[in-house]
Amino acid sequence: MSLRLRVILLITLVLASSLTLCALLVGYQVRQELAAELRAAMAGARQTASGTFEDLPRSDHSLRDLRQLVHAFDGNRHVRMAVVDRQGQALLTSRPSGEAPPPAWFGRLVEVEAAAVVLPIPDAPGQGLAPGLRLVLTPTPQSDARSAWNEAFTMLKVIAGVALIGGVLIWLAVGAGLRPLVLLGEQFAKVGQGDYAAAVPEAGPPELRLLQRGFNAMTGQLAATMRRNRQLGDQIVRLQEEERAEIARDLHDEIGPRLFAVGLDAALLAQLCEAGKPAEAIRHAQEIQQAVVHMQGQVRDLLGWLRPARLTEFGLAAAIKDLVAFWAGRRGDIAFALDLPETALDESTAEVAYRVVQEALSNAMRHARPARIAITLTHEAPDRLTVRIENDGVPQAAPDASRSGGLGLLGMRERVEAHGGQLAYGREAAAAVWLVRAQLPCQIHAVPAANGQEQA
């Protein structure tokens, strides 16, 4: 059952109960009034009859007086008057008002207990009146019940009309009042289908406004998160392409020529062996060996960059050293200062710290033209790891990450905060360096054995 129908039914129930109570009270009141009216009418009839009876013995026309008395009550709504003889035979009867009785159930509702009154008519010998006549006064409450019914029926029609119009108005008002909730429900359904542009106008009572404001804020947040996720997804794809291009360049520039040289040296080696020139053959063999060693180094650097397997195998410090080796191999002009204690950290903290260092190093290379980069891992408390990466060569104007369109710092922050840590970055004016500092909750599986401080 819809909320609207429930509200209407509830209102109808309350109204019907109140009306029933009112009807019972009014019925009781009407009954009391009818009883009082009937009592007064009977008393009046008795009095009138007594007046006539007093004059009856002296009257010359006692039969006519009696007839006049009875017919004076023709059309009376409360009392019917009758003259009966000794055998109970009615000789004269007044005509009642002639109104149709009310519906039986209503008659029972307002029925008043009233007994007939029998008055002996004084004998008037010689006046044509038979002896032993009696005057019977019978109360007729039906007429009053009928008029009460007429009034109640008219009132009932008015109430029904008002209830009908009121019901339609309440239906419309409840519909209008619930419309914002219906709209909210529809928008929630849209959000459930992934449409985060859904919004509702803020209108109505304060409680509803609060709900609508909360809904709009929620969809706004969801839309922003989805936008950011898309951007991060795009960035991942872009970074992958950049990395592939870099790997292709490295293979082409570093491995390609050396393989070519190794091929030449191998061919020459064969010729020199055939020509019996061992001294020159040995020199070419050594050159082949050097080239292979160089290529092994290149391949190791590349593997370390592609997948920091050493992170899980040898720990965070070793993985960061591989990273540094990768960059040092390309940027010989940069001095790296490392302070990396050999701590056996839990895997997820090590992963987050590694990614922070990776992005901070990339940023330093891309944005700062540094001469020195320092990377420090410290434990201010056993369960907290602080990662600091600072580089000099910062541009004069402090760049605004939010306007650069870059997502590296944003992704870094999300990673750190998802882990329960805090990230700070920016230009340290006093030290003229750019600093990235991540504080991460961690678990240490082994106490640092030695300080891995070194200078590259």
Q: Which chain residues interact with Mg ion by CB under 5 A?
A: 363, 406, 408
Task: Specify the residue, 410 or 444, whose C-beta has the smaller distance to Mg ion.
Answer: 410
Residues 99 and 143 sit within 8 Å (Cβ to Cβ): yes
Residues 361 and 315 sit within 8 Å (Cβ to Cβ): no
Residue 438's SS3 state is strand
Q: Which does 52 bind (CB under 5 to 8 A by kind): ligand ATP, Mg ion, none?
A: none
Q: Which does 358 bind (CB under 5 to 8 A by kind): ligand ATP, Mg ion, none?
A: none
Contact characters 214-253, ligand ATP, x per CB under 6 A: ---------------------x------------------
Q: Please give the helix or strand (H or E) that residue 157 lies within, else none.
A: helix 141-192
Q: Is 391 in the site for ligand ATP (CB under 6 A)?
A: yes
Half-sphere exposure of 97 (CA within 13 A, CB side): 16
Residues 229 and 218 sit within 8 Å (Cβ to Cβ): no
Nearest in space to 426 (alpha carbons), one of 396, 405, 402, 399: 399
Residues 163 and 14 sit within 8 Å (Cβ to Cβ): no
- Shortest Å distance, C-beta 241 to ligand ATP: 12
Compute the C-alpha angle 114/120/126, nearest 5°.
150
Q: Which does 338 bind (CB under 5 to 8 A by kind): Mg ion, ligand ATP, none?
A: none
Q: In the beta sheet, which residues pair with residue 433?
A: 428
Q: Which does 373 bind (CB under 5 to 8 A by kind): Mg ion, ligand ATP, none?
A: none
Half-sphere exposure of 447 (CA within 13 A, CB side): 0
- Shortest Å distance, C-beta 354 to ligand ATP: 16
Would you state the torsion angle of the CA atoms of residues 187, 188, 190, 196, taken in this order, to the nearest 10 degrees?
Answer: 90
Site for ligand ATP in 335-374 (CB under 6 A): 363-364, 366-368
- Shortest Å distance, C-beta 318 to ligand ATP: 23
Binding residue (CB under 6 A) for ligand ATP from 42, 83, 434, 442: 434
Closest residue to ligand ATP, judged by C-beta, is: 406
User: For residue 276, what are the CA distances in angstroms to 68, 204, 296, 370?
Assistant: 174, 102, 31, 53
Task: Specify the residue, 239 or 261, whose C-beta has the smaller distance to Mg ion.
Answer: 239
Residues 319 and 454 sit within 8 Å (Cβ to Cβ): no
Q: Which does 399 bind (CB under 5 to 8 A by kind): Mg ion, ligand ATP, none?
A: ligand ATP
Question: How many residues make contact with ligand ATP (CB under 6 A)?
Answer: 17
Task: Specify the residue, 234 or 346, whose C-beta has the smaller distance to ligand ATP.
Answer: 234
Compute the C-alpha angle 419/425/427, nearest 5°.
175
Q: Which does 368 bind (CB under 5 to 8 A by kind): Mg ion, ligand ATP, none?
A: ligand ATP
Task: Specify the residue, 277 or 367, whose C-beta has the smaller distance to ligand ATP.
Answer: 367
- Shortest Å distance, C-beta 197 to ligand ATP: 26
Contact characters 120-159, ligand ATP, x per CB under 6 A: ----------------------------------------
Site for ligand ATP in 392-411 (CB under 6 A): 394, 399, 401, 404, 406-410
Q: Which does 404 bind (CB under 5 to 8 A by kind): Mg ion, ligand ATP, none?
A: ligand ATP
Q: Which does 435 bind (CB under 5 to 8 A by kind): Mg ion, ligand ATP, none?
A: none
- Shortest Å distance, C-beta 426 to ligand ATP: 9
Task: Specify the residue, 46 or 367, whose C-beta has the smaller distance to ligand ATP.
Answer: 367
Residues 441 and 383 sit within 8 Å (Cβ to Cβ): yes
Task: Specify the residue, 96 or 408, whose C-beta has the smaller distance to Mg ion.
Answer: 408
Residue 120's SS3 state is strand
- Shortest Å distance, C-beta 185 to ligand ATP: 40
Between strands 372-381 and 335-339, the pairing is parallel
Residue 309, φ and ψ in degrees, nearest 5: -65, -30
- Shortest Å distance, C-beta 280 to ligand ATP: 50
454 CB contacts (<8 Å, ≥6 apart)? 338
The DSSP annotation for 257-324 comes to HHHHHHHHHHHHHHHHHHTT-HHHHHHHHHHHHHHHHHHHHHHHHHHHHH--HHHHHH-HHHHHHHHH
Q: Which residues bind ligand ATP (CB under 6 A)?
A: 235, 363-364, 366-368, 391, 394, 399, 401, 404, 406-410, 434
